[in-house]
Amino acid sequence: MTGARLNRELVLEAPDRVPDGSGGFFETWVELGRIWAEVRARPGREVRLGTAIAARATHQITVRAAPFGAASRPTPTQRFREGPRRFRILSVTEADLSGRHLVCAAVEETAA
């Protein structure tokens, strides 16, 4: 990979379960930090949700590499936030053999 353009500031968030007082829980998102990234749209596709059809937009998000276990290293349980947009992380891999960048496959979530 030759010089990723890390020109967008994203917020890395992790899910947190909070008791609802009735024996259950609800999920909130906790900010872990801000990360500079390059976001590239990938071809979308249609997905069937019961009898409805919805569009699913995927993205390739490149960030600086961080060691395993570091709070700044994204994981598939987390998401990126940019203003009102949310990108759920599906996978994280090294961009190339140099190990300077990570590539996150993500899907853009839409609020219901």
For residues 47, 49, 55, 58, the Cα torsion angle rounded to the nearest 10 degrees is -60
pLDDT band, very low/low/confident/very high, at 8 (cuts 50, 70, 90): very high
- pTM for the complete prediction? 0.82
- Superfamily name and number for 8-18+25-109: Bacteriophage SPP1 head-tail adaptor protein (2.40.10.270)
Please state the domain extents for the chain. 8-18+25-109
Q: Give 34's strand partners.
A: 11
Question: How does pLDDT run across 19-63, given as a tens digit for each residue?
Answer: 888 989 989 999 999 999 999 998 766 667 677 766 677 899 999
